[in-house]
Amino acid sequence: MSKVHNFTAGPCVLPQAAIDAAIAALKDFKGTGVPVICISHRTKEWESVMNECRALWRELLDIPEGYEVVFLGGGASLQFLYVAMNFLEHKAAYLDTGVWASKALKEAKGLGEAYAIASSKDKNYTYIPKGFEIPADLDYLHVTTNNTIYGTELKVDLDSPVPLIADMSSDILSRRVDVSKYTVIYAGAQKNAGPAGVAVAIIKKDALGKVSRYLPTMLDYRTHIDKESMFNTPPVFSIFVMNETLKWLKAQGGIDAIHARNVKKAETLYAEIDRNSLFTGTAAKEDRSIMNICFVMAPGKEDLADEFFAFAKERGMVGIKGHRSVGGFRASVYNACTQEDVDALVACMKEFEALKA
């Protein structure tokens, strides 16, 4: 079979080392003779995985004292509700930068007063709003740092006078962040941190317990902190692969090393999009994501879209079709995507241009 270059937005490409470890653990988990998907989460062998995974998150992101790391089912979409349940008392604001941000806001509106402090919806979410003021009377400000569908990214840690909460599902572990500026960081694993099935939440513990509403046991962050993410049976396989992915990331040199590689990959592909007469980027250049690179056929070349997709597929490009809501193309170049993969896509684009321009 010819080489496949996987640019899928999620579930996405994972490190081969993590995949190989998962295959081995499906046969025999840590010498127990039991597959990892059948292991009791109360065994010392499993508890060692949980402890190692938490420690790796702390190390890789330099998480300060006072923060807890929990692993939860339900993905980032359930975190939309967790956040509002645990922190919305009077009023919250959301930076509306795309579909997932607007869905998070919808969940908050179901529990209290919440509104969009700024929005880029007027230009189909192709930029990150700037220059907005953050009122001091908010319970929190929620941001989505990377927008997978539109290819935009908030690349700075905002200075906020109120608790800052971030959905980092699609750029967590891709660059360094100042965790101390956030009250909560949460992310679905299936972009940079592992397979689908688990979300990680990094929570400032002393910020909890401030709302007056009744908190259902399963939606109270304190439940999962107190029980070390094992109040109920955790998604063991997803956490196992997450742990192996973090081990791989550490072996690559950690966050700073992977960020340098991610920047190079993104710059390589954006340079070709800007140079190639058949394609054009969709996101504002100053807000371009280094994780999700979105582009379309150039004006007057729209009728070539299906032909290019088929052309690229024949050359091993997988997952480059844009989200169904925006069309076009999207190359997701998460941590485990290689420079070789990006170079292959660039070569494909150049070859197509030579045939059609």
Domain-embedded: residue 9: no
Q: Which of 46, 57, 191, 321 is catalytic?
A: 191
- For 203-226, give the DSSP string: EEGGG-S---S---GGG-HHHHHH
32: exposed, middle or buried (Cβ count in 10 Å: 0-12, 13-18, 19+): middle
Supply the pTM of this predicted model. Answer: 0.97
pLDDT of residue 80: 98
| End-of-domain residue from the set 216, 251, 286 | 251
Whether 92 has a pLDDT exceeding 70, the answer reads yes
Residue 211 burial (CB count, 10 A): 18
Q: Which of 167, 171, 220, 287 is catalytic?
A: 167
| End-of-domain residue from the set 222, 251, 280 | 251
Whether 154 has a pLDDT exceeding 50, the answer reads yes
pLDDT of residue 323: 87
For position 231, which CATH number holds?
Answer: 3.40.640.10
pLDDT of residue 1: 47
240 shares its domain with 334: no
- The pLDDT of 315-334, averaged and rounded, is 94
Whether 328 has a pLDDT exceeding 90, the answer reads yes
- For 40-87, give the DSSP string: -TTSHHHHHHHHHHHHHHHHHHTPPTTEEEEEESSHHHHHHHHHHHHH
- The pLDDT of 253-281, averaged and rounded, is 98
Q: Are strands 113-119 and 91-96 parallel, antiparallel or unpaired?
A: parallel
Share of the chain above pLDDT 70, in %: 100
**Which conformational region is residue 328 in: left (phi greater than 0), alpha (psi within -120 to 50 degrees), or beta?**
left
Q: Are strands 146-147 and 152-153 parallel, antiparallel or unpaired?
A: antiparallel
Q: Which of 46, 100, 265, 321 is catalytic?
A: 100
Whether 2 has a pLDDT exceeding 90, the answer reads no
Domains of the chain: total = 2
Share of the chain above pLDDT 90, in %: 97
Which carries the bigger pLDDT value, residue 2 or residue 69? 69
| End-of-domain residue from the set 230, 251, 272 | 251
Domain-embedded: residue 275: yes
Mark whether 3 is an active-site residue. Answer: no
E strand or H helix at 152, and its extent?
strand 152-153
pLDDT per residue as tens digits for the range 19-63: 999 999 999 999 999 999 999 999 999 999 999 999 999 999 999
Q: Please tell me what DSSP assigns to residue 11.
A: S
What is the rounded CA–CA span in Å between residue 36 and residue 22?
Answer: 8
What is the rounded CA–CA span in Å between residue 166 and residue 321?
Answer: 27
Band (pLDDT 50/70/90 cuts) for residue 327 is confident
Q: How far is CA 218 from CA 108, 116, 222, 325, in A?
A: 17, 27, 9, 33
pLDDT of residue 325: 81
275 shares its domain with 161: no
Q: Is the dihedral of CA 227, 202, 77, 248 positive or negative?
A: negative
Residue range(s) defining the domain that contains residue 286: 254-356
Mark whether 100 is an active-site residue. Answer: yes
- The pLDDT of 264-279, averaged and rounded, is 98
Average pLDDT, the chain: 97
Domain-embedded: residue 241: yes
Domain-embedded: residue 7: no
Mark whether 191 is an active-site residue. Answer: yes
156: exposed, middle or buried (Cβ count in 10 Å: 0-12, 13-18, 19+): exposed
158 shares its domain with 236: yes
- The pLDDT of 341-348, averaged and rounded, is 98
Beta partners for residue 114, in sequence order: 92
144 shares its domain with 100: yes
244 shares its domain with 331: no
pLDDT of residue 152: 98
